[in-house]
A and B are shown apart, each in its own frame.
Chain A
Amino acid sequence: MTAVLEAPPVTVAPEKRRRRRDWRAIGAFAVLTGPVVIGLGLFKYVAIAWSFLLSFNDARGTITLGHWIGFDNYAFLLGDDAFLTSLATIALFTVVIVPITFVASLGLAVLINSIKRGKAFFRTIFLIPAAVSYVVAALVWKMALFNGLPSGVANVLGGLFGADPVPWLSETSPPVYWVAVVTLRLWLQVGLYMILFLAGLQAISPSLYEAGELDGTTKWQAFRYITLPQLRNTSVAVLLLILIAAFQAFDEFYNLFGTGLSGTATAPVKPPLVYLYDSALGDQNYGVGSAGSFLLTVLIVVITLLQGRFVGFGKKD
């Protein structure tokens, strides 16, 4: 702004004036954005580019380049059933967790929005878990709720219905460890998405419901033909957030199934990020670890684009 105010009279040649003003603006721009750009560049983009180069190298126990092997790391991953299984695992996990989280948080939001008293109280109660870290929650789940002892909370509850104690986190037939994984994520996430839905619900004009009532709609019809369509933008955003969060699942799998001594080698399931963590940091194979993270990135981009196509993210109404 000062640049404009201090600009010399119009009599000065136009080119000169423009250049002087540009330099000052460029200077300010550089000072203001410089630190962020340098920080981002150094700690994100240089690292990403380096990792991309590493993915074409045989980098074992080192992060220096120099042993070019072309697409061998990519070929190794695409031929490794452990990696392909981890992709299948995360796909299954996403298919299960996304609709459940979506329905649960929408349901909670509608319920809380409809009660007359104690709205703030319940809103807070359900939001609190969102502030708990995955690591802490995973340890509570592992050690207190879903341990294999007859005195574990889940086993005590099961015992009331006559079920035998189960080692929840290592039993694979049936794979009951999913109960622990899914409930943990729901407990942590539902509150946050519920808040987003609540905001959406409160933005719906009451006059729509009043008009509906005059026409004699049932509660279900009001939900189906007024609430849901009005929540479309919120729903699409929430869906996208849940989806990306599901694909990036790492913390609960690592902490629920890791033993500390052998890492996650004996885990019944491994999502791709845990697999890549083990390859890069456990086995010290940074080439394979980098290649895998680029494969995963491509996958997330493709799925997000596809999802955008189907639900029309960013499309105008």
Chain B
Amino acid sequence: MSPMNRRSFLVGSVLFAGGAALAGCTSDPLNKNAGAASGAKVTLQQWYHAYGESGTQQAVQRYAQEFTKAHPDIAINVSWIAGDYETKLNSAMLTAQAPDLFELGDFRYQNVKNGLLAPLDDVIAPAKADFSPAALDTVTVDGKIYGVKMIDDVMMLYYRKSALQAAGVQPPQTFAELLEATRKLNTGKQKGLYVGTDGVGEAATLLLWSSGADFFDSSGKKVAFASPEAVAAIAGLKQLHDTGGLLQGYPTDWSDPGAFANGATAMQWGGLWSLPDIKKALGDDFGVVAWPKFGDAGKQVARVGGWYQLANAKSAHPDAVKQFIDWLWIKNADLQKDWCVKYGFHIPARKPVAAQTTEFSSGPAKDAVTISQQNGKSYSGLWNKASATLFLQAATKIANGQADPAAELGDAAKKAQAEVDKQLA
């Protein structure tokens, strides 16, 4: 190589930097100009949390493109948000970069109170009868409906048939049976039960619900997770830990089927969405039950979550947002079915669509639908992240035997009540 003088080096650098800048402009890594390129007048920003199943991200992008094909004036730019979705969404909502429309798992009353959500009554009105009363009640505030339920997700206990048979235990129906099964199924290499990498996951909530208690009393406004029966049930977490059969510190959390599918545990709390992956890994060697009941007054429970499509009250294009939600989540049964059964499994929120899907007609998938109908329970809209953090902190201390359950939960309930009162004020 011939020696380079200062001038040629400088010219070379400028050309290189200029080229890089140009390349940066044309490749448009964030795809912000997707709308402009296709000639759309309006580009809507839409947020999804990162679904774990393969093909999901491509699917929502395909839905967006199909919509633009049918409505050339409106383009949709999909953002796929990994990690702590709700925290990222909450902070983005206070800025100019807020999405025009987004999904949210647990509906929060405080979002309505803070004026973040646009009512969607006119979108949902013609199809109101398609949705379950619960899916409408949860998002109804002062007579207005603020969300369209996209999918129902039921969470339940997966168990490995062969492992239970080998250990001589039945799928647990009561908490005592769950403790026994967790102990007996532990072979060292394969643990008995997995509820989450932190050893708590949703187990504290499930213990509470399965004892017949709840976060709120019958008025729906008084925090009640420190009642004597609730304290007794949540103290059960310590007993679960003491069995020695609880798997902790697995690299993926309970919402991922990894621990169960790879044989690290014989039972796992998980979601219906994981069912196709589990079937692929284990064939027919698994079944599902609801979370066992705690005590005599208790009942078996399963959590019914799912995702709501919500609209930003401050969006510059409210009509386009409504048009898209109507097109995708009300009218387009084919795409709703595609979303519910082609990747992970979700129960379509609209009854006519659910009736068309054949995937839930047999086996564990059918059991899951039955469980969601008979044992399903959801969070109240008043239950927010602040109260949940207080509750989970107390539950973690109880699980680790670091605190007296009654005192710890009493303290947490008092603080959670203050949070709830602030929301209602």
Contacts of A281 in B (CB 8 A): 87, 90-91
Contacts of A143 in B (CB 8 A): 251
Alpha-carbon separation in the docked complex, A55 to B236 (Å): 40
**How many residues from B make CB contacts under 8 Å with A?**
43
> Do A262 and B392 touch (CB < 8 A)?
yes
> Do A167 and B392 touch (CB < 8 A)?
no
> Do A282 and B249 touch (CB < 8 A)?
no
Contacts of B111 in A (CB 8 A): 61
> Do A266 and B392 touch (CB < 8 A)?
yes
What are 12 A-B pairs at a CB distance below 8 A? A142-B251, A143-B251, A147-B250, A148-B247, A169-B198, A259-B253, A262-B198, A262-B201, A262-B389, A265-B388, A283-B389, A284-B110
Q: Does A200 count as interface, using CB distance less than 8 angstroms?
A: no
Alpha-carbon separation in the docked complex, A227 to B200 (Å): 51
Q: Does B116 count as interface, using CB distance less than 8 angstroms?
A: yes
Say how far A225's CB is from chain B's closest CB, in angstroms. 48
Which one of A142, A152, A261, A263 has the greatest number of beta carbons of chain B within 10 Å? A261
- Assuming the contacts A261-B255, A282-B87, asked whether A82 and B385 have C-beta atoms less than 8 A apart, the reply is no
Say how far A264's CB is from chain B's closest CB, in angstroms. 8
- B88, closest chain A residue (CB): A281
Q: Does A185 count as interface, using CB distance less than 8 angstroms?
A: no
Contact of B248 among A62, A80, A167 (CB under 8 A): A167
Contact of A284 among B90, B201, B254, B392 (CB under 8 A): B90
Q: Does B422 count as interface, using CB distance less than 8 angstroms?
A: yes
Alpha-carbon separation in the docked complex, A146 to B264 (Å): 16
Say how far A169's CB is from chain B's closest CB, in angstroms. 6
> Do B87 and A170 touch (CB < 8 A)?
no
**How many residues from A make CB contacts under 8 Å with B?**
39
> Do B384 and A283 touch (CB < 8 A)?
yes
Chain A window 67-79, contacts with chain B (Cβ cutoff 8 Å), 1 for yes, 0 for no: 0000000000000
Alpha-carbon separation in the docked complex, A82 to B395 (Å): 14
> Do B389 and A282 touch (CB < 8 A)?
yes
Chain A window 164-200, contacts with chain B (Cβ cutoff 8 Å), 1 for yes, 0 for no: 0001111111000000000000000000000000000
- Assuming the contacts A63-B94, A170-B249, asked whether A263 and B110 have C-beta atoms less than 8 A apart, the reply is no
> Do A263 and B114 touch (CB < 8 A)?
no
Contacts of A147 in B (CB 8 A): 249-251
Q: Does B220 count as interface, using CB distance less than 8 angstroms?
A: no
> Do A82 and B393 touch (CB < 8 A)?
yes
> Do A263 and B249 touch (CB < 8 A)?
no
Q: Does B188 count as interface, using CB distance less than 8 angstroms?
A: yes
CB interface residues, A 6-61, toward B, < 8 Å = 58, 60-61
Say how far B402's CB is from chain A's closest CB, in angstroms. 6
Contacts of A283 in B (CB 8 A): 384-386, 389, 419
- Assuming the contacts A149-B264, A268-B396, asked whether A260 and B84 have C-beta atoms less than 8 A apart, the reply is yes
> Do A282 and B422 touch (CB < 8 A)?
no
Alpha-carbon separation in the docked complex, A267 to B397 (Å): 10
